Amino acid sequence: MIHIRLRYFASLREALGAEEALAVAPGTTVATLRDALIARGGVHAELLARSRAVRCAVDRQMADETVALAEGAEVAFFPPVTGG
């Protein structure tokens, strides 16, 4: 297992909290991580659903869902438009 840190911003943060630590299998991509979060059901499934536009950054760089996660990665999810 590798350990990553999830961060949520804007409306996702309001519903899911600011951040959480998670252990995932080596080779996990942003897509498989998002699918695992959706599989939790409830608010995660609603807010991260494939039908919703959600952006992602890995280690503070915009990333698409094919990016593989490494030990200690910081993964951030946020809506396409956020206020500052």
Mean residue pLDDT across the chain: 94
- What band does 57 get if pLDDT is binned at 50, 70 and 90? very high
pLDDT at 83: 56
Fold (CATH) for 2-78: Ubiquitin-like (UB roll) (3.10.20)
- Domain parsing of the chain, residue ranges: 2-78
Q: Which residues contact 47 (CB under 8 A, 6 or more apart)?
A: 11, 12, 15, 16, 54
pTM: 0.91
| pLDDT tens readout for residues 1-42 | 999 999 999 999 999 999 999 999 999 999 999 999 999 999
CA 20 to CA 15: how far, in whole Å? 13
Share of the chain above pLDDT 90, in %: 92
Q: Which residues contact 63 (CB under 8 A, 6 or more apart)?
A: 30, 56, 57
